[in-house]
Amino acid sequence: MTQAQTGMSLEEAIHSRHSVRKYEKGHVIPQEVLDEILTLGAAAPSSWNLQHWRFLVVTKQEIKDRLLPIAFNQQQVADSSATIIILGDLEANKSAEAVFGPAVEAGYMSQEAYDTLLGNINGAYAGDPQIPMDEANRNGSLAAMQLMLAAKSKGYDTCPMGGFDRVQIMKELNIPDRYTPVMMLTLGKAAEPAHATGRFPLDQIVIKETF
């Protein structure tokens, strides 16, 4: 993605991205643009390249309205063009064969290296029950941040949300137990400018070498 294609550099997208809670209700994002945003979000890095994220995209008004009480009546959920639930895969190790199998078939990876890698991945997931959850949240968050920057570069705004009932959203949207809701993102056209927020200076957040 070049600056010429988007009209906005990465630096500009980072500095101009702010959480938007008031959207132009009824604005429809063209499907090809939405797909571009999702594709860019899915290009995020992930542990073992297992691509732990799934994007549950809700654009139908009646479903967004049903999500409103689940999100504690935060109006942006209903007014945005799309509400996206970022899901993390708790069984991402099951994707390893699909990720690395083609590399073996193409001769880029030896069968021995493949067997060792899959053994390490499956061993990690079986060894500590906290690892699947940590990886789902960590990698899902990476994709969510990249998705927000991609949206901004395309002229759209977002709001990351952790305030929603995870048990209820699993039931409402029939989300399989394999996935955990990492966060909710609203996506759309801002109805009014977002408020800029301050950031700590580097001397408050950067620790050099050691404490």
Q: What is the pLDDT of residues 46-105, one digit of tens each?
A: 999 999 999 999 999 999 999 999 999 999 999 999 999 999 999 999 999 999 999 999
* Res. 163: pLDDT tops 50: yes
> What CATH number does the domain containing 150 carry?
3.40.109.10
Q: Within a domain: residue 196?
A: no
Q: How far apart are CA 36 and CA 75, in angstroms?
A: 26
Count of the separate structural domains present in the chain: 1
Confidence at 154, pLDDT banded by 50, 70, 90: very high
Q: Is the dihedral of CA 4, 8, 12, 14 positive or negative?
A: negative
Q: Within a domain: residue 200?
A: no
* Res. 158: pLDDT tops 50: yes
Higher pLDDT, 182 or 8: 182
Average pLDDT, the chain: 94
* Res. 4: pLDDT tops 60: no
pLDDT the model gives residue 2: 42
pLDDT the model gives residue 193: 83
Question: Could you tell me how far CA 190 lies from the centroid of its own chain?
Answer: 20
* Res. 148: pLDDT tops 50: yes
pLDDT the model gives residue 3: 42
pLDDT the model gives residue 6: 52
Query: Residue 156 sits in which domain range?
Result: 3-190
Q: Within a domain: residue 82?
A: yes
Q: Within a domain: residue 207?
A: no
Q: Within a domain: residue 203?
A: no
CA dist 109 → 17, 47, 93, 97, 104 (Å): 40, 18, 18, 12, 5
- Residue 157 · residue 55 · CB < 8 Å: no
Q: How far apart are CA 86 and CA 31, in angstroms?
A: 19
Q: How far apart are CA 164 and CA 126, in angstroms?
A: 29
Q: Within a domain: residue 159?
A: yes
* Res. 1: pLDDT tops 80: no
Confidence at 5, pLDDT banded by 50, 70, 90: very low
Q: Within a domain: residue 117?
A: yes
Confidence at 197, pLDDT banded by 50, 70, 90: confident
Q: Could you give the angle at the alpha carbon of 143 between the alpha carbons of 12 and 24, nearest 5°?
A: 60
* Res. 199: pLDDT tops 50: yes
* Res. 128: pLDDT tops 50: yes
Q: Within a domain: residue 208?
A: no
CB count, 10 Å around CB of 31? 9
